A and B are shown apart, each in its own frame.
Chain A
């Protein structure tokens, strides 16, 4: 097995990675996952629909036409309820839009772009050394250390993003995976380490180390593709946590909607009772007349 046997896969990984270095693509990736795959927007709309459905419709309220209750003016009471409904409707729309925007904002993973840069540069280095036929011992040790560094970098990045999901933020500079500077520093350190080890060590005749090198190489190449699946899982986990927060907010809003609904139903029941009393009176008058 040589690195050049896998050059097509390495090229594919490099192409995908360079695309994700552009932040707009990373944002679109998050948006596509949130809206089309995990359907967080649909969930938000479904939850808020419950609140909107609880509110009495505008036409019903505008057609509450009685003017007095026991000879006291009812206009202020009716207008108060109408205004409450209007304000609640506006609040629901604003909260719904806010929830959708919050999901996109919190699910956006800044480190996707910078980790993609690291993977791209790693792939370019592999393609570079795959062409060399001579100095095989040097390049095997070089790629051994490079693969090990790549695996450690990606594992560290994934673990850090997973910890962020549970609000455990590591503020140390070593863990700033969202910064391009961080990924450039890491790849530089990996190259220096790989070159140094390449000059210092030679294990071309060591079967065990050669086997380990092959395994590390395969794993690192797999990781460069699995990177996006891992980020997809992290986005889903973040989304699930936000969904629970939305559920709590919506439950509170639903109670407010129910209060407005109950108040307006009270007014409607007064209207119905007044109508029934009027009907009874008319029936009695008709009986008396006949």
Chain B
């Protein structure tokens, strides 16, 4: 499927709240799904990732979708298990997060050491995920090759991921992104 067709396909699934589970394994395709999760969420998007400084994280479409979501009043919770301060200082995404933090918007980044896996995976590979509004999700089952399974309407599994996320989030350490670009760091 060409990129434009895949984008339309993903948009169609999101617009119609299709409950099918679909797979992808490409950064561009991952970006299409993440953008739609942001565009179709109303209250809260949860992101569990490594450091968000590489690949999809700093793509302008992702940053724009995140910005529009926050400006609509949405909350973004980010949990990183491979946070790298020096890379974050150069990341366009973190610069934008710092900007919204300084405006008092509902966005927070925390760090953890936990590396989640799927019980059903015999190889016990680490997973990353994004959940939108306890309804849509993208679960990256192979973080090296960017393989993921996604759905825009899977409330049961999305809620399971959200609950798992929140249980770690509450115990994790906040990273003050504002200070990365603040006067103390000049």
Contacts and interface: CB of A to CB of B under 8 A. Distances in A.
B67 A73 contact: no
Given A62-B92, A67-B186, A73-B181, A79 B60 contact: no
B186 A71 contact: yes
Q: Which range holds the interface residue count of chain A?
A: 10 to 19
A21 interface: no
A83 B68 CA distance: 10
A80 B67 CA distance: 11
A285 interface: no
14 contacts: A58-B60, A67-B185, A67-B186, A68-B183, A71-B186, A73-B181, A75-B95, A75-B181, A75-B182, A76-B102, A79-B98, A83-B67, A83-B96, A83-B99
A62 B181 CA distance: 15
A79 B64 contact: no
A97 interface: no
Nearest to B182: A73
Contact of A75 (B64, B67, B98): B98
Contacts of A80: 99
Contact of A72 (B67, B96, B99, B183): B183
Interface of A: 58, 62, 67-68, 71-73, 75-76, 78-80, 82-83, 86
A73 B182 CA distance: 5
Contacts of B60: 58, 62
B46 to A, nearest CB: 23
Contacts of B186: 67-68, 71, 73
Contact of B95 (A71, A72, A78): A78
B183 A71 contact: yes
Contacts of B95: 75, 78-79
Contacts of A82: 96
A79 B96 contact: yes
Nearest to B100: A79
A176 B64 CA distance: 48
Interface string B80-121: 000000000000100110110010000000000000000000
Interface of B: 60, 64, 67, 92, 95-96, 98-99, 102, 181-183, 185-186
A58 to B, nearest CB: 6
A78 to B, nearest CB: 7
Contacts of B98: 75-76, 79
A82 B181 CA distance: 16
Given A58-B60, A83-B67, A86-B67, A73 B96 contact: no
A79 B67 CA distance: 11
A72 B102 CA distance: 14
A100 to B, nearest CB: 19
B181 to A, nearest CB: 4
Contacts of A62: 60, 92
A65 B183 CA distance: 16
B18 to A, nearest CB: 26
B174 to A, nearest CB: 19
A58 B58 CA distance: 13
A67 B64 contact: no
A76 B99 contact: yes
A104 B90 CA distance: 47
Contacts of A79: 95-96, 98-99
A75 B89 CA distance: 11
